Chains A and B, each alone.
Chain A
């Protein structure tokens, strides 16, 4: 089955700096890679996702890159703000016309934005 590794487990950056979170996956059939943000005590929320037909996707301060050959994908947050502090986790799955096999999540990264 799919195995997703995520690093680092904790990341502390100064406000205004960039943050990068990296994930690797094992199943080359995976073609869908979402990122979730979870604030304390709340449910995870999808913040960005990417599919294997593109190598990069950007949404304002957030971007995700995907390297299918190396089987890794990364989340980039620029100009970090205090409200970016949260736990982020990546996931991977295979999507076909009939739906996804199911997300395999990474273990999560606690991002701390230092004022």
Chain B
């Protein structure tokens, strides 16, 4: 079964350092998302991406964050200068363009990348 893959599974970094989290969405999917979950808190939406541009972003997704689809397979989340409060599990997700006869619109999540900022 196709799956969304994320790397690394766990990254430890120093405050102020740049971090790039990588995701490989399911190959025929068109919408891509990043969520995060701070330990003990709810999953929070960060950003959605379609047609090589951001569709929507939350207030969490400030100027320190950016996303990119550098090639036909990867979808990355960059945190420019990490803060302690960026420590969280970051989930990538993807979905097909809803509306087609074979498309359930189901959101497929990766297993997450745990970021620890020291």
Contacts and interface: CB of A to CB of B under 8 A. Distances in A.
A62 to B, nearest CB: 19
Given A42-B48, A43-B56, A108 B41 contact: no
Contacts of B55: 41-42
B107 A43 contact: no
Interface in B62-109: 89, 95, 97-98, 103-109
B67 to A, nearest CB: 13
B56 A44 contact: no
B56 A10 contact: no
Interface string A83-101: 0000101010100001111
In which size bucket is the chain B interface? 20 to 34
Interface string A74-115: 000000000000010101010000111111010110100000
Contact of A110 (B41, B48, B106, B108): B106
B105 A10 contact: yes
B19 to A, nearest CB: 21
A87 B33 CA distance: 14
Contacts of A34: 42
A38 interface: yes
A110 B98 CA distance: 8
